[in-house]
Amino acid sequence: MRVLIDTNIVLDFLLQREPFFQDADLLFQAIDAGQVIGYVTATTLTDIFYISRKHTRSVDQARQAVAEMLAAMVICPIDRAVLELAFHSGLVDFEDAVQIFGAVAQGLDVILTRDNRGFLSSPIPVLSVQDLLKQLGT
């Protein structure tokens, strides 16, 4: 199963944010085991760097967080076509719209998020990490 992972879930894992870390950790174990192919958008990497640096106050730790995602995830390119689809989609949250249309462009199966309000109009099914883990029998 090919899944786009929302930025917040990636940050939950990298920054060990409670109470969400355990589910995120199980998700990344499923990715490591090959049960799931994880995708993030290219824009997620810039967000990860910025937020990790702000949270840890360390450029080195922020770079390490990006390096981990480059090693573990497939990156969805974000080009003009994706940005225009997101911009003209009418979705209120532009960041979520970019992720949705990045996933659409890649033909992904599912979007994982813990805040599905921004993803209500997604043409791709949206699940929580817990829902996906149940499907996987984890």
Residue 137, pLDDT score: 85
**Sequence-ordered alpha helix ranges (H) in 33-93:** 42-56, 59-72, 80-87
Q: Considering the entire predicted model, what is its pTM?
A: 0.91
Q: What is the pLDDT of residues 5-60, one digit of tens each?
A: 999 999 999 989 999 999 999 999 999 999 999 999 999 999 999 999 999 899 99
Q: How far apart are the first and last CA of the chain?
A: 14
Domain boundaries defined on the chain:
2-136
Residue 65, pLDDT score: 92
Assign 120 a pLDDT band (cuts: 50, 70, 90): confident
The CATH class, in words, for 2-136 is alpha beta
- Between helices 59-72 and 42-56, what is the axis angle to 10°? 150
Amino acid letter, residue 11? L
Per-residue pLDDT for 66 more than 80? yes
Q: Cβ atoms within 10 A of the Cβ of 49, count?
A: 16
